[in-house]
């Protein structure tokens, strides 16, 4: 089933899922950072990836990700609204973390095989719009660059991001989006991960589906994005809800999300 009318939305089953971090991370202003390993609700997860050779598909049972109650038989789930706040001015983005590989050494050159599929968490098995990110696990010495070889949204193999880094050495938790090759709009599979430039540090590679983003313009303020602003993207009962924060300052602040999922 699916929600196609306002009456259907009003009558849908609902669950409110908290994603709260009660500790802060030292950040770089306007840089994206993960908070997955910080205390809060749910409890802290593990920043370092557990597989470099194949990668894993996180889900809502993985430490650090909010638990989602299974939908009633045959029901489809949607992100219905997001209530959000933070003690600092920032942007917050919410994703479904589909694939995580790491932690790779700064100078890795690793071919992946037997990668698990995340196609079951894609509406219509559509790989367009998926994003590829690097996530710093331990601080880099030097400007860590990451080059990923991948299969694109159409199944073309051997595509590469080129060596992509920042203008400064990334600190713990720093994340940056990796660019696709010209003409590509998504990713099916990561096939090789290489690191360069730095002389120390470890990192993960992530494939994610963006669900929502919002901004806190003033420290310690909050907002609510309803279904019209959220857009009702489809989610699943095993979706790995994962947030990134880009603060205006050098602290991630204390953030909290009230994620409302509807299903029918």
Give per-residue pLDDT as tens, 104-161: 999 999 999 999 999 999 999 999 999 999 999 999 999 999 999 999 999 999 999 9
User: What range defines the domain where residue 68 resides?
Assistant: 6-263
Question: Do the domain assignments include residue 1?
Answer: no
Question: Do the domain assignments include residue 110?
Answer: yes
Strands, DSSP E only, in 49-170?
51-56, 77-86, 90-105, 109-111, 131-141, 145-152, 159-160, 164-165
Q: Tell the residue number behind the tokens 């609700």, with chain if given.
A: 41
Measured distance CA(169)–CA(87) in Å, rounded: 26
Question: Do the domain assignments include residue 132?
Answer: yes
C-beta atoms surrounding 192 within 10 Å: 15
Question: Do the domain assignments include residue 82?
Answer: yes
Question: Do the domain assignments include residue 203?
Answer: yes
Do 106 and 200 contact (CB within 8 A), yes or no? Answer: yes
Mean pLDDT for 42-63 is: 98
Measured distance CA(93)–CA(31) in Å, rounded: 12
Give me the number of domains the chain comprises. Answer: 1
Question: Do the domain assignments include residue 21?
Answer: yes
Mean pLDDT for 164-178 is: 96
Mean pLDDT for 22-43 is: 98
pTM of the model as a whole: 0.96
Mean pLDDT for 184-201 is: 97
Give per-residue pLDDT as tens, 76-118: 999 999 999 999 999 999 999 999 999 999 999 999 999 999 9
Question: Do the domain assignments include residue 10?
Answer: yes
Question: Do the domain assignments include residue 155?
Answer: yes
């Amino acid at each position: 089933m699916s929600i196609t009318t306002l009456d259907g939305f009003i009558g849908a089953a609902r669950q409110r899922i908290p994603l709260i971090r009660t500790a802060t991370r030292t950040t770089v202003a306007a840089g994206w950072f993960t908070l997955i390993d910080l205390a809060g609700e749910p409890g802290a997860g593990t920043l370092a990836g557990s597989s470099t050779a194949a990668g894993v598909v996180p889900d809502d049972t993985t430490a650090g990700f909010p638990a989602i109650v299974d939908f009633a038989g045959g029901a489809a789930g949607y992100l219905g609204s997001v209530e959000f706040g933070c003690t600092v001015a920032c942007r917050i983005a919410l994703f479904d973390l589909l694939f995580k590989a790491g932690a790779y050494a700064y100078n890795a050159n690793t071919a992946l095989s037997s990668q698990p599929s995340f196609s079951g968490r894609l509406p219509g098995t559509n790989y367009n719009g998926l994003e590829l990110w690097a996530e710093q696990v331990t601080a880099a010495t030097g400007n860590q660059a990451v080059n990923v070889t991948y299969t694109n949204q159409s199944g073309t193999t051997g595509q590469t991001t080129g060596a992509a880094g920042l203008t400064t050495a990334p600190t713990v938790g720093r994340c940056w989006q990796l660019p696709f090759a010209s003409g590509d709009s998504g990713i099916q599979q990561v096939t090789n991960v290489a690191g360069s430039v730095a002389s120390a540090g470890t990192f993960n590679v992530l494939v994610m589906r963006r669900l929502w983003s919002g901004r806190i313009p003033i420290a310690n303020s909050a907002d609510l994005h309803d279904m019209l602003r959220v857009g009702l993207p489809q989610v699943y009962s095993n979706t790995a809800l994962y947030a990134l924060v880009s603060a205006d300052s050098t602290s991630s602040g204390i953030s909290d999300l009230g994620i409302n999922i509807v299903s029918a």
